[in-house]
Copies of this chain bind each other. A is one copy, B any other.
């Protein structure tokens, strides 16, 4: 197959052929199915992707721990996938999820709890936009 035919097959085809990076991962964005807010950005390896597709629960691969991980397996803050989308070059996945509690280990609903003011010039001071939605001491205690 020519290079352009191969690109066309990846972009316009019906076959799932994820383009994993050198570490065997694709980027995954999880958004709140109701609000549309981005909850977290994480990674999936082939097994995490397959398990998510098979079960409808969000599975990821932790680069820090180098292990497969079902979101919420220690915290109880699970993600049920409502819809999964794949991007044009098949190296990124978007899951719309029903998030129990909060997605972030800091106990916020979203990992993106700070805004970056822009267009002002000068030094940047982040602005907090979200409160905690659970008690991390309780949720993660004895479970790590």
Which of A's residues lie within 8 Å of B, judged by CB? Answer: 11-16, 27, 29, 31, 35-38, 40-41, 52-56, 81, 83-88, 92-94, 104-106, 108, 110-116, 118-119, 121, 124-126, 129
Contact = CB atoms under 8 A, between A and B. Distances in A.
A124 B16 CA distance: 7
A125 B41 contact: no
B118 A84 contact: yes
A118 B93 CA distance: 13
Could you say how many copies of this chain the assembly holds? 2
Which residue of A37, A84, A112, A116 has the most chain B CB atoms within 10 A of its CB atom?
A116
A115 to B, nearest CB: 6
A112 B124 contact: no
Contacts of A13: 126
A94 B112 contact: yes
Nearest to A84: B116
